[in-house]
Amino acid sequence: MDVDALYQEIILDHYKRPHGRGLRDPYEAEVHHVNPTCGDEITLRVHIDGDRIADVSYAAEGCSISQASASVLNDLVIGRTVEDAMALHDDFTELMQGRGKVEPNEDRLEDGIAFAGVAQFPARIKCALLSWMAWKDATAQALTDHSTSDLGENE
């Protein structure tokens, strides 16, 4: 099967049946991020329990790529330690900024590899990264408010 077709199918599948969608309680931080170039929007909440991501809930609207990305993010980060999820965020960002030349690690990124195809289209990269940036922002805020970690992750 053609890799691009497979990637498109994965993205469409998440778009049609988004995983974990909806805003839930409890949560420590909520953010609202917008991608003005495409019109994508996401409201995202993070719930952290100890050093783990207990829940990521969201309400998203916009293009299929931005919404599928939020669904994949939900699959990938819930249940991970904050540190591991942050590393995963970096892996995904690296893939998206690799202009289609970074070989995706399927064991690590699972359905996230489908966005390797998107990385070839500069205009769509922000769509794919929107939910991840929102998640990182919300997680940083949650950790600041509760000061349970010395993650030191900020730009």
Residue closer to Zn ion by CB (options 62, 112) is 62
Residue closer to Zn ion by CB (options 60, 113) is 60
Do residues 130 and 42 touch, judged by C-beta distance below 8 A?
Answer: yes
The reply on whether position 118 binds Zn ion by CB under 5 A is no
The reply on whether position 59 binds Zn ion by CB under 5 A is no
The full DSSP string for 52-115 is EEEEEEEEEES-HHHHHHHHHHHHHHTTSBHHHHHHHHHHHHHHHTTTT-SPP-HHHHGGGGGG
Q: How far is the CB of 84 from Zn ion (least distance, A)?
A: 27
Residue closer to Zn ion by CB (options 33, 47) is 33
The reply on whether position 67 binds Zn ion by CB under 5 A is no
- For Zn ion, which residue of 14, 31, 40, 125 counts as binding (CB under 5 A)? 40
At 70, list the tokens.
């939020």
